[in-house]
Amino acid sequence: MRQLYFIETSDIGFEKENIIIAELRDPLIRRNPVELIYELRGNPAIVDIATSLNLPGSTTDASYGYWEGKPEETKQLIFRAGIDDNFLDFYGIEIVAGRGFSDDFPSDTINKFIINETAAKIIGLNDPVGRKFGFSKDKASGYVIGIIDDYHFQSLHLAIEPLALSPLGSDKYKEPRYISIKVNPGTISETMLFVNKTLKELSPHYLNPVSVFSDRVDKMYRSERKLATIFIFSAILAVILTCLGQYSLSSYTTKSRTKEMVIRKVMGSQPSGIMALVTAQMVKLIMLSLFISWPVAFLLMTKWLQNFVYHINIGAGVFLLSLVIIFLISLIAVSYHVIKLSRVNPAEMIRHE
């Protein structure tokens, strides 16, 4: 549960709320989305629009990168994505150096790149902006015009890789595959209906799926949520079984030592002393079980967390908490039976013995 909470609260580097995604499958709309964008902007619930070949959080393709000063023996895969000039502002991705793509610079469509900080570190130059950069097809024939803050363009299962963004209309990134639509809070449902209706009118022969962006991002961790649900029910079941087991064990212990406890009571022992006697025996069994279960639990949790590059650390707190819970359950169970035993007349107990 802590890992799932960590995933949901981690800074992924881009905005995901109140965004609708339309996947453009109609080649005519992909080649010229201007009419669609115009129709969408007529809806007052829509506050911003961006187009792209890829979405944040989704897989992109990768090619070998070339840059000014790259050693010949170095081979570095760099992920690629195509975006329009509004994409970075739309998703709140920060430019840390240089600039973004802009219609004010018509030459941006010809071999211009924006790279992330990870790519900038790999290139190894103090200021990559303005330096030559490209991919295996054209070598280093383009230029870096900006550097963006690292964002998780893949899931948290993976480390942030070097990324280069190209403007739509350049090279292989001529056509958008997705249109991102930002809406006012609380208007997603009705706006999705409007977007679907508009797409059907402009593209009646194609199915252009419409979805909520935050749902797409959350789906990357669907298996973790299912596993978390299993963990919760397993934990509840474990607590129930522990309660039943401790109740049965304390009942058996007190009954098997009834004669000894009666004698101690007759000799003046207090219920607290008798309870300490029974508890000491149970503590040994509890500690034995914990020393067996803790290493197994630690190994299983560590193995699962290795699926994530970004994950929580397993501290001693979770094991201490389990120790406290088990001791409390045991103490309650023992107390119940000892108090019940202390209220019975010693003569009656000896007679039954």
Q: Where are the domains of the chain?
A: 13-219, 222-352
Distance CA 212, CA 234 (A): 32
- Cβ count near 202 (within 10 Å): 16
Task: Give per-residue pLDDT as tens, 39-60.
Answer: 999 999 999 999 999 898 776 7
Q: How far is CA 35 from CA 39, 205, 291, in A?
A: 6, 17, 68
Q: pLDDT tens per residue, the chain (353 residues)?
A: 566 666 666 678 889 999 999 999 998 888 888 999 999 999 999 999 999 998 987 767 888 888 887 777 788 889 988 899 999 999 999 999 999 998 888 787 778 899 999 999 888 777 888 888 888 666 667 889 999 999 888 877 778 889 999 888 755 557 899 999 999 999 999 999 999 999 999 988 888 899 999 888 888 777 777 777 777 777 777 777 777 777 777 777 666 666 666 666 656 655 566 666 667 777 777 777 777 777 877 787 777 777 776 677 777 777 777 778 777 877 777 777 666 666 665 555 555 55
Q: Which amino acid is residue 113, in one-letter code?
A: F
Is the pTM of the predicted complex or chain greater than 0.75?
Answer: no
The continuous run of DSSP H or E covering 142 comes out as strand 139-148
Task: Give per-residue pLDDT as tens, 294-327.
Answer: 787 778 777 777 777 667 777 777 777 777 877 7
pLDDT of residue 329: 77
